Amino acid sequence: MSKDGFTAIITGSASGLGAAAAMLLAKQGARLVVNYASSKKEAEETADRCRSAGGEIVVVQGDVSRDADCKAIVAAAAPWGRLDALINNAGTTKHVDHGNLDGLSTDDFQRIYAVNAIGPYQMVRAARALLEAGAKHAGRASSVVNVSSIAGVSGIGSSVAYVGSKGALNAMTLALARGLAPLIRVNAVCPGYIDTPWFTKGRGADQAARIRDHVAKGSALKLASTAEDVAEVVCFLAGPQSRNMTGEIVRVDAGAHL
**Which range of residues forms the domain containing residue 56?**
7-252
Angle between helices 160-180 and 106-113 (to 10 degrees): 30
pLDDT at 194: 87
pLDDT at 2: 47
2 inside domain: no
108-143 per-position pLDDT tens digit: 999 999 999 999 999 999 999 999 999 999 999 999
Answering whether pTM is above 0.75, one says yes
When divided into structural domains, the chain yields a total of 1
Single-letter amino acid code for the residue at 55: G
Single-letter amino acid code for the residue at 109: F
CATH number at residue 18: 3.40.50.720
Confidence band (pLDDT; 50, 70, 90) for 5?
Answer: confident
Q: Which residues are catalytic?
A: 162
1 inside domain: no
Q: Looking at the predicted structure, is the pLDDT value of residue 99 above 70?
A: yes
Confidence band (pLDDT; 50, 70, 90) for 92?
Answer: very high
* Three-state SS annotation for the chain: CCCCCCEEEECCCCCHHHHHHHHHHHCCCCEEEEEECCCHHHHHHHHHHHHHHCCEEEEEECCCCCHHHHHHHHHCCHHHCCCCEEEECCCCCCCCCCCCCCCCCHHHHHHHHHHHHHHHHHHHHHHHHHHHHHHHHHCCCEEEEEECCCHHHHCCCCCHHHHHHHHHHHHHHHHHHHHHCCCEEEEEEEECCCCCHHHHHHHCHHHHHHHHHHHHHHCCCCCCCCHHHHHHHHHHHHCHHHCCCCCCEEEECCCCCC
201 inside domain: yes
